[in-house]
Structure 1
């Protein structure tokens, strides 16, 4: 019911005006603290050496890539099923951010994989499914502008986003379902995290910072999209009045 309340654009704008500066400030604090712990306080790994520090950007980026795609799919479902006016706007605004997180994940994964596996890229189940996720983001954004009618473009993109949601659990459980080079989960485990607190602390701080950054940037982009649509509607109304 809370999400239904904020599906109203005017109500969302009021909330975003208050919340966005706080989210931005929290992102700066968490990322600054996370980088200090990651680069200064956290020790080098006994096997990976200094290369392990890539993890503090790679892993949170991977988490955010999945989270943001879930937001895109959720907004698409909201737009198609419940006709919420904000659903498609949120999905449109989130997609480029998610694509950027996914690209960062892929690049840092390659930088991490080279010294660990001896190759920049392997057709590992986890890596391949994340690459598919990146293409889903690109496909969604391409479909938005592929039609003369923006309504048709939005509907086609929403359908793709919803269908692509099946890739999210595949990415999550790929290391358990298939024999892959990628290491299994070491944080979200039933028996607790498998990494030391000196490494877990910067990892969680960076993840929180990325999350707050996403929230702030999403609100900024949604607000800009709402304002753009309002200006477009006013211009259309003025043109019709003149005609």
Structure 2
């Protein structure tokens, strides 16, 4: 049964402090973008949430592979927990992108290649969570979802590369942009610093949430085991 962990408590406090600092940097430290104005400030959270979604699904991929190789149930817990977090941050990424798109593209949504692939990725990992929750038989569920988690990861690099493979109106932050891209802007030094700080903050937050979620799952499995033993004694 999980016990209080001082390092996890420290990470939790650190995450809260970093979030407060990131809000300051996004709203005050970063300069106002000349063309888009203050709506551009959502960009820092939009990109950072997309980064964490990709990181979370990468962790699901790696731990799914390790689970299949070792049959260690702990890796299944991490894979499932990380997928949950990835879905949450993908939702944040899609919603924040829509809010940003409304004044820039004059629409909440368009079936642009990046938005389409991101939505497919989101749906694939929601399906992963449904599989993990719905399949009967612990061993069967773990093996099927591990294989699914490996295959589903194909959607992650595809989503990243979508704006580089197909014509798109989505802006490109790293690399050259499509001539049709709308919302493109030049990053100043302060903007770059703010983006890196926010992405780092989200990374710390991700590992903190992951640690908490794995501990909760361990506790849930422990209680389920006790309940099973109680009813079968």
TM-score range, shorter chain: 0.7 to 0.9
2: CA distance, partners of 1:205 / 1:182? 23
Aligned residues: 223
- Establish whether residue 230 from structure 1 lines up as the match of residue 222 from structure 2: yes
Q: Offset at 1:25?
A: 2.2
1:152-185, Cα deviation, whole Å (9 max, x unpaired) = 2222222221101111111222211111111123
- Is 2:82 the partner of 1:123? no
Deviations 1:191-213 (A, max 9, x none): xxx62121122212221221111
Q: Distance in 2 between matches of 1:173 and 1:26?
A: 33
In the alignment, the residues of structure 1 paired with residue 231 and residue 95 of structure 2 have an alpha-carbon distance, to the nearest angstrom, of: 48
Alignment partners' CA distance in 1, 2:100 and 2:151: 31
Aligned partners of 1:185, 1:75: CA distance in 2, in Å? 30
Contact 1:59 1:105 in 2 (8 A): yes
State the distance in 1 between where 2:17 and 2:39 align: 24
Alpha-carbon RMSD = 2.0
Pick aligned residue for 1:174 from 129, 146, 162: 162
Q: Tell me what 1:195 maps to.
A: 187
Alignment match, 1:67: 55
> Aligned equivalents of 2:152 and 2:136: distance in 1?
24
| Contact 1:31–1:209 (CA under 8 A) maintained in structure 2 | yes
Structure-1 separation of matches of 2:94 and 2:223:
38
Q: Is 2:85 the counterpart of 1:97?
A: yes
Alignment partner of 2:73: what SS? coil
